[in-house]
Amino acid sequence: MKITHMKFYGGSREKVCRLGLSHIFLELQEILISTEVRVLDKRKANGAASVRELIDGRFKDFSDWKLKKTGGIDWMKRIRYNESIVSRIGVEIQVSGRSDLLARDIVHIRNSLQDSEIDVGVIVVPSKEFSLLLTDRVADFSYAVRYVEKELREAKTYPIILLGIEHDGLTDQPLPKKTTNLGAQ
C-alpha cells in the first residue's frame, strides 16, 4: 500500500522523536508500505475485511508487535532499555467496519493513554478514493480529520497520528468479501 496522508495531533510528532519511538513508527510505515493490496476499480466491490487481514498478516511478519483481539488497541509495540519498558506505540486499523467505529478507536487510544499502556496512538484509515472501492462504510482520511477536529475536539489534545493509505493498483478480480452469519441465511 501507499501512505498518502499523515496528520499529527497533541504533540505526537514530538513524542515519537523524544521518546525514541521513531524506529517503531518507521517500522509501522514499512509494514503498511510492504502490504500489497490490489483492487477492482469498482465502487463497493472489494472486501474491506480482506484488506484488514492483509495488514494484520504483515504485522505478524514483524517481531514484537502484539495483537489485542477485542476491547482495546489493535496492535502495540514497546521499546525496552535494559529491563525497563521505555515507551509504547499503539495502532488502530480502521479499514473495515462502520465509520462510527472511529469513535471507538479514539476512545481505545484515550483509555490506553490514560492507563499508561501507550504513549502515542496511530489510526490507519483509507484515503477517500480507496474507501469508495471497499464494501464497508468505512471512515476515510478526510472523515477522520473532521471527526478529530470538529466532532470529538478533545481528541486534538491526544498524541494521535492519522495515517491515510491507498491501494497499490488495480486488478481484474475484487478482494473477497466476507460472508457474515446474516449473509449466510
What residue ranges do the domains of the chain occupy? 2-37+44-169
The reported pLDDT for the residue numbered 185 is 46
The reported pLDDT for the residue numbered 182 is 58
The CA dihedral of 58, 73, 25, 97, to the nearest 10 degrees, is 60
The Cα-based distances of 116 to 51, 68, 87, 88 in angstroms read 30, 16, 9, 9
pLDDT at 122 over 50: yes
Looking at every residue in the chain, the average pLDDT score rounds to: 93
Better-predicted residue by pLDDT, 31 or 138: 31
Single pTM value for the model: 0.93
Least confident piece of the model among 34-38, 57-61, 67-71, 153-157: 67-71
The Cα-based distances of 92 to 40, 44, 117, 185 in angstroms read 25, 22, 14, 31
Measure the CA–CA gap between 138 and 159, rounded to whole angstroms. 23
Measure the CA–CA gap between 75 and 92, rounded to whole angstroms. 7
Helix (H) or strand (E) holding 104: helix 101-114
Q: Does domain 2-37+44-169 have CATH number 3.40.91.20?
A: yes
